[in-house]
Amino acid sequence: MFTLAARFSFFKICRFKRSISTLTMYNTADLCDVYGDLLQYAEPIFRDFGQKTKFGGKISTVKCHEDNSFVKAALAEPGEGKVLVVDGGGSIRRALLGDNVAATALKNNWSGVIIHGCVRDIAELEKINIGIKALGSIPRKTEKKNVGSRDIPVTFSGVTFRPNEYVYADRDGIVVLDKKLILEGKL
């Protein structure tokens, strides 16, 4: 009937379907096995800073440079399980997220934040039950010029993050998946 490999694949796909149906249990390696080249894969340059190391959800974006005004404003809104993806230009000169803004994100039901830039207050960030990935940490705060953009496609780390697509992150990495693949059940 079924070969051992076929049975393994069948059970793996069934387990994956159950996981995706709840959108709370997933594994980026399993996503890669099932969706392959339909995914975008971020280059492995990010570190984990939040208490959660596995998170995902619908993408919302901010583009800013050394000014976290738009990050703070976005995370002050209801997150509804979304992930804020911040294109900070890869700057390592100023932190775009600290413990106060991360605590606000948790309070407003954001699933996580991915920052192409730095964070600060890492001892406190590790205690906040939210996913946070960033390039590194620096204690220097940002300038407040109120300059940036919201909910536009942003590209960094070999990936284009588009609002309303889905991003999944864990210790293995970050992948982006068009929501239609999940909703249409293309497994």
**Tokens 């339909």 belong to which residue?**
38
Indicate the length of the chain as a whole number.
187
Residues tagged in the binding site annotation for substrate: 98-101, 120
Half-sphere exposure of residue 90: CA atoms within 13 angstroms, side-chain side: 6
Model pLDDT, residue 181: 53
The percentage of residues in the chain with a pLDDT greater than 70, rounded to a whole number, is 82
Bind-site residues: 98-101, 120-121
| pLDDT (tens digit per residue) in 52-63 | 999 999 999 999
Task: Assess whether pLDDT exceeds 60 at residue 136.
Answer: yes
| Domain 42-177 indexed as CATH 3.50.30.40 | yes
In whole angstroms, how far apart are CA 161 and each of 7, 15, 116, 119, 168? 35, 27, 12, 20, 11
Residues tagged in the binding site annotation for Mg(2+): 121
